[in-house]
Every structure is written in structure tokens, then in C-alpha cells.
Amino acid sequence: MKIIFIMIGISFIIALFFLVAFIWSVKTGQYDDTYSPSARILFDDKPNSTLDKN
Amino acid sequence: MSGQIEKFSYDNRISRMFLYATLLWGAVGLLVGVLIAFQLYIPALNFDLPYTTFGRLRPLHTNAVIFAFVGNAIFAGVYYSLQRLLKARMFNDMLSKLHFWGWQLIIVCAALTLFLGISTGKEYAELEWPIDIMVALVWVIFGVNMIGTMVKRREKHLYVAIWFYLATFVTVAILHIVNSFEIPVNLFKSYSWYAGVQDAMVQWWYGHNAVAFFLTTPFLGLMYYFVPKAANRPVYSYRLSIVHFWALIFIYIWAGPHHLLYSAVPDWAQTLGVVFSLMLIAPSWGGMINGLLTMRGAWDRVRNDAILKFFVVALTAYGMATFEGPMHSLKTVNAFTHFTDWIPAHVHIGTLGWNGMMIFAIFYWMAPRLTKNGKLFSMKLANTHFWIATLGMILWSVAMYWAGTAQGLMWKQWDANGLLQHSFIDTVIAIVPMYLVRAIGGTLYLLGFFIFIYNILKTLGSAQAVHEEEAEAPALVLNNENHSKLSGYLRHRILEKKPLALTFWAAVAILVGTLIEMVPTFLVKSNVPTIASVQPYTPLELEGRDIYIREGCNSCHSQLIRPFRTETERYGEYSKAGEFVYDHPFLWGSKRTGPDLAREGGLRDDAWHFRHMKRPNSIYDDAYDNPPSIMPAYPWLITDDLDVSNTPDKIRAMQTLGVPYAEGYDANAVGDLQEQAAGIANNIEQLLSGTGEDVVADEIKNKEIIALIAYLQRLGTDISKDTNN
């Protein structure tokens, strides 16, 4: 039943990858603002738009 | 942080191409689905042809729907939303095109090979090894294109949808590669690297996560872009979207063993799978609730807007399916739902409801935006489509819930004497009417799909196409002061700016993972309890097993008896892990449309199998007015010669995998095969002589049917053999 440990190993690697990605995302301020991204996607990037770009 | 305003354009052509492909393959996949649904009600629709029997069409249906229909739709939506979320054109147009044409080539190859019965026998991973390699390559192209676009993005924040896309790419790549380890015999045939229980665990680790990371995460990502866009409301809680994303991906990868409850897998692994499956309710429902509540303030529009209607039903179906999944993972529920039609019901709530309705909504919203006009051809038709599709889905799933529950309970019913109340065929007869309702539901859904195709084609055809959509956004400028404080961020930024370096390290990471996985497989002797009397298959049985795989017998017949008295009474001693050590691949199956075959060996004589394969109902003619078996006939097995040209290669491949054939046995294999075949043919000739169905042994001894009978007669017999002499 070694395959179980092997698969747990791979699953851990995947999980680790996600953990690193998670820590990176928190550290780089991806989640400092948890409101404006949801609103921002509603605006298009049409040329000469009058929207105030941040 | 904002830099100079830059002008660029979004590539709409690639989304349009994937959209057309979705329409085409969706029609094919659903059409095959409707055909096989009717086959279960009218077996004559198998047409007695190898290419059109249920066993071969069922993998064709699942592959076409999952990887061709849903796959192309994912790419259409990802290519549309990713560019806009990152405010950047796709990394490389050539990669986009390679991705598109590569994926279509894979689909064509898949369709042809599955028709021909070229299959690995592993559910949702039936494609043979050359196609597996193509899938891996094209998938990497997709990933490089996506990550490359992230590198050149103009928006610092990675919107939650992008995280879902990334998780999809990374996890599917690893799952696909690990599950596809196989040893080729020739271009069209390979054997799974793993055997028996181990193969089962890898397969369902893959199978479950394929559902998680191919049918769920990309769609949640799409949901977070297209639902707010269609409702013109920001997502209900962005914070919730982040929390449920991370929770979902961390929990999902551990839930695979719930597909193998009561099997020969260790109890602790089963329990681990159950616990994580139950926990999955929270993040899954987090996503569903977040999606539904995004509609707040827009509910009045649901009345007229078919797009929002589709989203509401899709999210509701997602909520149902993700409630049902954890419930099925409970052992008590699993005990009577597993192997029944409840499982396809559950799956189709997910695919027809969640994936299908999401695709309809996304395409109705996106297609007009690929044109100058920007208007859907007919919202009225879209509403018609909505009601037909919803009705079809309800008919489909209610019929299958009914059938699954009824049959599951009938299998477990005792009579007053403590004997099984129902024979297997009686439980089939009881649910056949439900198969008709299911087929009608599927037909309605298909009808709706044709309306969808018409509406989308009219929308795209009646207005000028916008292949290049002009856009502008400020360039992303890095703030150097922040960098010195955040060295980790700095390193990542540098890495991000060098796509080659990133690809290299990603490849190294995957290789390390692969090595960690592969090395123990080579070095560690498996501690699956061995049973001394379990021996490798004879060459004839091995060839018969390959015919069993080719014809997809495992689509309808399981080979795993669970440790319940109702099952041991019906099928015999429950299955032990040690019985499957030479099974490359395992053939436990996941559905009992027909009875379990784990102990079929020796139950009936060779002539019974011969007549049964020729005409399944021949065995019921005396007992029933309307012969009840819904199994297709396999007349070509009786007329086609068995191809033994690969037998030595197969033996050698098995030896490489550690199956203990004697050294040099490949040279004697064909001789042994012919001797065993002659014995079976003679036996059939004797048994059938004077019955009016006489056969001549010399005429049938080299036919495929003999190999299949040899295999069936071997199934499950080893453990009762006396090993002392």
C-alpha cells in the first residue's frame, strides 16, 4: 500500500505549492484591499475612456 | 504605481475559435449521450456493430463532453476573461493557436481511437499513451501562455478568478501525468504502471481531482468573472471568494478515497477521504452562496434575462451536487448508492446543471461582445432554451435518482427466509422505464442545445466581428522602495520577469515531484498482502482481458464485491486486495448496469458464455415473455480472429511491470494460448452438440470469443484453489 504514501507525498507537494502561493499573495499585499478588485472588473478598458485609472 | 497609458488590443479571435469548437463538440458529445441513453432502453440501438456498442460509446461520450465540450468552453472563457482581468493581450498568439489546434487534434484522435476500442480501460483516462503525451504538451502550452500573460500584466492585483485558473493548470498537469504512467506494448496499446488496488487509488485520486480541477475550479473562476459582469454587480463578498478559494484547493486533493469505500483500500485512507469530503461542503457552498448573492439587487432582471436564469440554476445545481457528494461519501449512504444510477444522476447534476448551464450563460453573454453590434440575436430563444434545458435536466436526474434508489434498495432486500428477494435481472426490469425517462430528458437537453447553437451562430453571424478589441491601461510600474522591504516579493518579481527561468524552475519542481513519486514505485516492494494461489493470467486470458477492456465491459460490470452479506450472497466471497496484484490496469468499474463479475469464473459453463455473447437474451427466452436483458450482443467476437501477433510483446511488458512469468516465457506464450483455446473450443462444441446451435471446435478455436471466455472463467477463481499440491 506504499502508493498511498506516494500519493500523499504528491498531494503534499501540490499543497505546498499552494501554500507558498498563498503566503506570497498575502505578503505582497494581494489581499490588502478586499473590496475594490470586485468593483474594478466591472469597468472596461475602452480607449479614451473617462474613467480615472488608478 | 501607475505608469504611462498604453494602447493594446485583446485577442477575441481565440475566444471565438474555442467557442465554435465548444458548439461542435458539445453537439457531438450530447448526441452520443442521448444515443447511449436510448440503448439502455432499446438494446437494438447498439446495432450489433463494435463501433456503436454502449461499452465503446460510453467513454466516447464522457471524453467528448468533459474534455471537448467543457474543455473548449473553459478555454474560450479563460482566454476572454484572463486578458481583461490582467489588462494585457495573451502572452503569445502563436501559443494560443497551437493550444487551440493541438486540443482539437487531441479530440479527433480521441474520438477515432475510442471508436476503435483503443482504450487504457481507466475511467476518464481512457486515451492511449501517445494521446496522453499530446495532452500533456498542449496543457503546458496553455499554462505557459497563461503565466506569460500574467508576467506582462498591467494590473497588479491578481483577481480571484486567475487563482482558480492557475490552480486548474497546476493540478491537472500533475494529476494527468501521474495517472498516465503506463508501459507501451505498441503505438495503440499500453498497460497501466500500477496494478490492482494501487491502480485503483491512483485512478480515483486522479478521477476525483479531475472533477475538482477540470469541472469545478475553472468554472468557479469563470463564475467570478462572468456572473458579476452579467449582473453588473460586484461579487457579493470578495473576501469570501479568497477564503473559499484557498480552503477549496487545500481540501479537495485529499477526498479521492471516497470513491473506494468498502473496497480493499485500507480503512484509515477511506476515513481520511470521508472526513475531507465532508469538510468540502463549507468551501463549496461558500462559492455557491457568493455567486448567488452576487445577484442581489438584480433579481428583478432574472425574470427576463435568460443569462441570469442560467447562472442561478447552474449555481443551484453546483450547491446540490456539492451537498450530495459529501453525503455519498458517508459510508452508510455509500453502501446503497454506490454502483447504482444515483451516481450518474449526481454526475449529471454537475455536468448538465453546473457546467452546461454555466457555459450557456457565459456564451450568451460573451458571444455578442465578440461583435460590433453587441446584442444577442434573440433573448426570447435563450429563454426557451433555458426552460427546455431545465426540464430536460430535471427529467434526467429525477429518473436516475429514482432508478438508483430503487435498484440500490432492491439489491439489499431479503425475503422472509433470509434469502435475496430479487434476482439481478429483476432489479434491471424494475428501472428500465426510468431509462426511458432519462433518455427523453437527455433529448430535451440536446434540443435546447441546438437552439443554443442557432442563437449563438446568428448572434455571431449577423454582426461584424471584432477580432481585435482596442483597449488602453496604464503600465504596471514597480515601486522600488517596497522591493527592499519585501525580499520575497522582489525575488518573485525577478522570476516573474523571466518567463524562461520560471518555466525552468517549474519544470524542476514537477520533476522533483515525479522522482519522489517514481523512485519508491521502483524500489519499494509493495506490501499489498499477497495470496499464494493468485497466479498471473495465461496468455489467452490476458488477450481476453484486453478484449474486455477494448469493448468497455467495465462500463457496466464491476469486479469488486464489497463485504456486505447482500453482496457475498449474490456474488460470492468479497474481494481481497491480493487478488488484483497482476491487474494492469484494475477493472473494478464504478457502475453495475449489469451484475458484478469478480467471481464469474466457473459459475457457468463455456457454452453459456458463448451463447450469451452471441445473443444475451438467449438465456431468458424460456422464463420471460419479453426477454429482459439490456446487454448488447457481441457477434463480431465470434467471427473475428484473435490477433496473437502482440502476445509475446504483452508478456514482456507484463514482465517489465513485475508480473512473474518465467524467463523466456514470451516464446512459448502463443503455443500455450492455442492449446488452451482448443480446449475451450472443444468443450463448447460438445456442450452445444444437438442443441440446434452446433458449432465446430476448429472453426471457433481461434476466435476472439474464446479468449474472452477464458478470461471470464478465470475471474475470482484463484483464491479458492488449493495451493498445497
Question: In which band, very low, low, confident or very high, does the pLDDT at A53 lie, cut at 50, 70 and 90?
Answer: very low
The pLDDT score that the predictor gives to residue A16 is 82
Grid-cell match 498516465, residue found: B180
C-alpha cell at B49: 456493430
Provide DSSP, B85-135: HHTS--S-HHHHHHHHHHHHHHHHHHHHHHHTT-----TT--S-HHHHHHH
Mean pLDDT confidence for B625-635 = 88
C-alpha cell at B544: 481476453
Helix runs in B215-237, H state only = 217-231
Rounded to a whole number, what is the distance in Å from the CA of A4 to chain B's nearest CA?
A: 8
Rounded to a whole number, what is the distance in Å from the CA of B286 to chain A's nearest CA?
A: 16
The pLDDT score that the predictor gives to residue A8 is 77
Comparing alpha-carbon positions, the chain B residue that sits nearest to A40 is: B234
Size of interface A-B (CB pairs under 8 A): 130
Mean pLDDT confidence for B465-489 = 71
- pLDDT tens digits for range A9-26: 777 788 888 888 888 888
- CA gap B234, B224 in Å, rounded: 9
Tell me which H or E stretch contains B474: strand B468-476
DSSP B719: G
Rounded to a whole number, what is the distance in Å from the CA of A50 to chain B's nearest CA?
A: 11
The pLDDT score that the predictor gives to residue B521 is 45
Name every chain A residue with its beta carbon within 8 A of the beta carbon of B158.
Answer: 25, 30
Query: Above 60 in pLDDT, residue B501?
Result: no
- Minimal CA–CA distance to B608: which of B718, B709, B716? B709
Question: In which band, very low, low, confident or very high, does the pLDDT at B484 lie, cut at 50, 70 and 90?
Answer: very low
Name every chain B residue with its beta carbon within 8 A of the beta carbon of A50.
Answer: none
Q: Which of residues 6-45 of A touch B (CB under 8 A)?
A: 6-7, 9-11, 13-15, 17-18, 21-22, 24-25, 27-28, 30-31, 33-35, 37-42, 44-45
Query: Above 90 in pLDDT, residue B518?
Result: no
**Exposed e or buried b per residue across B218-243, where buried means at least 16 C-beta atoms within 10 angstroms of its C-beta:** bbbbbbbbbbbbbbebbbbbbebbbb
- Minimal CA–CA distance to B87: which of A37, A27, A32? A37
- Minimal CA–CA distance to B75: which of B165, B180, B154, B137? B165
Torsion of Cα atoms, B87 then B91 then B93 then B94, to 10°: -170
Residues B698, B681 contacting (CB under 8 angstroms): yes
B266-273 LR contacts (CB < 8 Å, sep 24+):
B266/A1, B266/A4, B269/A4, B269/B201, B270/B331, B273/B329
The pLDDT score that the predictor gives to residue B348 is 95
- CA gap B31, B37 in Å, rounded: 10
Name every chain A residue with its beta carbon within 8 A of the beta carbon of B249.
Answer: 18
User: Which one of B242, B254, B476 makes the best mutation probe of the A interface by having the most chain A beta carbons within 10 Å?
Assistant: B242
- CA gap B78, B75 in Å, rounded: 5
Question: In which band, very low, low, confident or very high, does the pLDDT at B91 lie, cut at 50, 70 and 90?
Answer: very high
The pLDDT score that the predictor gives to residue B446 is 98
Length of chain B: 725
B520 cis-preceded (ω within 30 degrees of 0): no
- Minimal CA–CA distance to B304: which of B364, B355, B350? B364
What is the β-pairing status of strands B2-11 and B189-192?
unpaired
Q: Are B198 and A5 inside 8 Å of each other by CB?
A: no
> Identity (one letter) of the amino acid at B595?
P
C-alpha cell at B405: 434508489
The pLDDT score that the predictor gives to residue B597 is 97
C-alpha cell at B463: 454582426
Query: Above 80 in pLDDT, residue B504?
Result: no
Name every chain A residue with its beta carbon within 8 A of the beta carbon of B5.
Answer: 53
Burial (0-12, 13-18, 19+ Cβ within 10 Å), B311 = buried
The helix-helix angle for B306-329 and B217-231 (nearest 10°) equals: 150
C-alpha cell at B56: 465503446
Query: Above 70 in pLDDT, residue B712?
Result: yes
- CA gap B555, B592 in Å, rounded: 8
Q: Is B209 left (phi over 0), alpha (psi -120 to 50) or beta?
A: alpha
Q: Which of residues 201-230 of B touch A (CB under 8 A)?
A: 201-202, 205, 225, 228-229
Higher pLDDT, B72 or B628: B72
- pLDDT tens digits for range B22-49: 999 999 999 999 999 999 999 999 999 9
- CA gap B545, B586 in Å, rounded: 11
The pLDDT score that the predictor gives to residue B522 is 46
The pLDDT score that the predictor gives to residue B722 is 65
% of residues, chain B, pLDDT over 70: 92
Of B232-236, B493-497, B584-588, which range is least confident? B493-497
The pLDDT score that the predictor gives to residue A48 is 62
Superfamily covering domain B539-720: Cytochrome c-like domain (1.10.760.10)
- CA gap B38, B23 in Å, rounded: 23
Name every chain B residue with its beta carbon within 8 A of the beta carbon of A39.
Answer: 234
Mean pLDDT of chain B: 90
Rounded to a whole number, what is the distance in Å from the CA of A3 to chain B's nearest CA?
A: 6
Higher pLDDT, B265 or B659: B659
Helix runs in B215-330, H state only = 217-231, 238-252, 267-279, 281-293, 299-302, 306-329
- CA gap B224, A49 in Å, rounded: 24
Helix (H, G, I), strand (E, B) or coil at B19: helix
- Minimal CA–CA distance to B317: which of B341, B296, B288, B290? B288
What is the β-pairing status of strands B182-186 and B189-192?
antiparallel
Query: Above 80 in pLDDT, residue B489?
Result: no
- pLDDT tens digits for range B336-381: 999 999 999 999 999 999 999 999 999 999 999 999 988 999 999 9
C-alpha cell at B439: 433518455
Question: In which band, very low, low, confident or very high, does the pLDDT at B485 lie, cut at 50, 70 and 90?
Answer: very low
- pLDDT tens digits for range B394-428: 999 999 999 999 999 999 999 999 999 999 999 99
Of B240-249, B351-360, B457-466, B612-621, which range is least confident? B612-621
Name every chain A residue with its beta carbon within 8 A of the beta carbon of B521.
Answer: 2-3, 6
- Minimal CA–CA distance to B74: which of B227, B253, B242, B215? B215
**Angle at B55 (CA atoms; ends B49, B58), nearest 5 degrees:** 115
For B680, half-sphere exposure in the C-beta direction (CA atoms, 13 angstrom radius) is: 31
The pLDDT score that the predictor gives to residue B515 is 56
User: Which one of B86, B160, B476, B586 makes the best mutation probe of the A interface by having the most chain A beta carbons within 10 Å?
Assistant: B160
- pLDDT tens digits for range B543-596: 999 999 999 999 999 999 999 999 999 999 999 988 999 999 999 999 999 999
- CA gap B224, B247 in Å, rounded: 16
The pLDDT score that the predictor gives to residue B270 is 85
Of A35-49, B51-65, B345-359, B484-498, which range is least confident? B484-498
- CA gap B323, B314 in Å, rounded: 14
Task: Give the count of beta carbons closer than 10 Å to the beta carbon of residue B660.
Answer: 12
Sign, CA dihedral B353-B354-B356-B361, equals: positive
Where are the domains positioned within chain B?
A: 539-720
Query: Above 60 in pLDDT, residue B257?
Result: yes
The pLDDT score that the predictor gives to residue B704 is 97
Query: Above 90 in pLDDT, residue B231?
Result: yes
- CA gap B317, B348 in Å, rounded: 10
- pLDDT tens digits for range B665-711: 999 999 999 999 999 999 999 999 998 889 999 999 999 999 999 99
Mean pLDDT confidence for B285-290 = 96
Rounded to a whole number, what is the distance in Å from the CA of B276 to chain A's nearest CA?
A: 13
The pLDDT score that the predictor gives to residue B490 is 52
Length of chain A: 54
- Longest Cα–Cα distance of chain B, Å, equals 96
Q: Is B232 left (phi over 0), alpha (psi -120 to 50) or beta?
A: left
Question: In which band, very low, low, confident or very high, does the pLDDT at A52 lie, cut at 50, 70 and 90?
Answer: very low
Question: In which band, very low, low, confident or very high, does the pLDDT at B268 lie, cut at 50, 70 and 90?
Answer: confident
Based on its alpha-carbon atoms, the radius of gyration of chain B, rounded to whole angstroms, reads 27
Q: Which of residues 341-360 of B touch A (CB under 8 A)?
A: none
Helix (H, G, I), strand (E, B) or coil at B48: coil
- Minimal CA–CA distance to B274: which of B287, B262, B285? B262
Q: Are B520 and A5 inside 8 Å of each other by CB?
A: yes
Task: Give the count of beta carbons closer than 10 Å to the beta carbon of residue B536.
Answer: 17
Mean pLDDT confidence for B426-452 = 96
Instruction: Name B497's Cβ contacts closer than 8 Å, sequence gap at least 6.
Output: B151
Give, in order, the Cα–Cα distances in Å from B631 to each of B53, B281, B614, B622, B715. 10, 38, 11, 18, 20
Question: In which band, very low, low, confident or very high, does the pLDDT at B488 lie, cut at 50, 70 and 90?
Answer: low
C-alpha cell at B616: 444475451
- CA gap B43, B34 in Å, rounded: 13
Q: Are B249 and A13 inside 8 Å of each other by CB?
A: no
Query: Above 80 in pLDDT, residue A36?
Result: yes
